[in-house]
Amino acid sequence: MGNYRFILSGGGTGGHIYPAIAIANELKRRHPDAQFLFVGAKDRMEMEKVPQAGYEIEGLWISGLQRKLTLKNLMFPFKVISSLIQAGKIVRKFKPHAVIGTGGFASGPMLKVASGKGVPCVLQEQNSYAGITNKLLKDKVAKICVAYDEMDRFFPKDKIVKTGNPVRGDLVEMTADKNEALKFFGLKTDVPTLLILGGSLGARRINQLVAKNLGLFEQNGVQLLWQCGKLYIDEYAKYNSDSVKVLDFLNRMDYAYAASDIIISRAGAGSVSELCIVGKPVIFVPSPNVAEDHQTKNARALANDNAALLLKESELDAKFERVFMGLFNDKGQQERLSANIKKLALPNATKDIVDEIEKLIGNATRK
């Protein structure tokens, strides 16, 4: 039987959307005749990103609770009821063989309804600290695929499978040549390279940090590949030079990673999983502006294993120069961090997650 029907639900951020797309792509590779439907939240980025990836999507009228009393909060109960009704219609019409949730508001109503109708459901939790939606769904689903140890703090132990997070295919092999990558970005091949990653939108505090320390980098012969984000490119493009390459977006992440000697990055789940595979020394600067401060928890999980360095935004002014120069001047520390972060890599995550889905739908044969 090859005509399976799969619903994938998750969104709000790229950290929820891209794993869902990666899982769908692997399912499609194994089952070319399968049908796919994504379910997201209206007006969120998944409504644009999923069709770009070639999949259909339906939007639910749902959003999260605000931290203060607002009109949106007063509307929340009505949104939940509306979304549950809409999810019920989607399940009845599409008749899925399995539903996969990757976190985000829309996956709550979708998986609650599907599991209530006896449809096998799988959760994929990207972070070391489980999100609210996934915690609420833990008793409704059959399997929970996680990326970190000790997730039985949040989920039933017998449902947990440690698979890791899906990452883009070109990184799993990491075959990009370093000199070729440096030339691609117009950088020198005989100079240490610092890669700065702030996410597709950019990270204001990281950009401010880099601009403030351009003199430090220049004095120590460090060239920069600086992804400042589309919100900040107009402000920081003026720093472009032979040794500083400022870009709003990096289309060739495999080249960016290959070119780098040291990396400064946010600590979103997807970034952390990629950096484990890449295996370069990393200084994580977590965003403090995310739900339940999960980026700090992600970064701390690696720092506790001596697999990365962690600097909070509040510590940057006082500690950055000492921490960066300590790492830059200590090849032994660089090698230890690289070796330890590589040990945490789970490059087969997407395949392992799909294996679990196939077991649930009665097809445990590995393709």
Q: Tell me whether residue 348 is annotated as binding.
A: no
Reduced to 3 states (helix: H, G, I; strand: E, B; else coil), residue 21 is helix
- β-pair partners for 123: 101, 144
Query: How do beta strands 5-9 and 57-60 pair?
Result: unpaired
Q: Tell me whether residue 365 is annotated as binding.
A: no
**What is the chain's alpha carbon radius of gyration, rounded to the nearest angstrom?**
21
Amino acid letter, residue 186: G
Amino acid letter, residue 255: Y
Q: Tell me whether residue 13 is annotated as binding.
A: yes
Residues 6+ apart with CB under 8 A from 255: 176, 180, 181, 184, 185
Residue 317's Cβ-count burial label (10 Å; 0-12, 13-18, 19+) is: exposed
Q: Tell me whether residue 168 is annotated as binding.
A: yes
Q: Tell me whether residue 15 is annotated as binding.
A: yes
Structure tokens at 184: 């691609």
Query: What is d(CA 215, CA 164) in angstroms, rounded to the nearest whole number?
Result: 39
Q: Tell me whether residue 279 is annotated as binding.
A: no
User: What are the two backbone dihedrals, phi and then psi, of residue 113, each rounded to the nearest 5 degrees?
Assistant: -70, -45
Instruction: Kindly list the strands in the beta sheet with 193-197, ordered across the sheet, starting from the edge strand earlier in the chain.
Output: 244-247, 223-227, 193-197, 262-265, 282-284, 309-310
Query: What is d(CA 105, CA 91) in angstroms, rounded to the nearest whole number?
Result: 17
Q: Known binding site: residues?
A: 13-15, 127, 168, 200, 295
Q: Known binding site for UDP-N-acetyl-alpha-D-glucosamine: residues?
A: 13-15, 127, 168, 200, 295
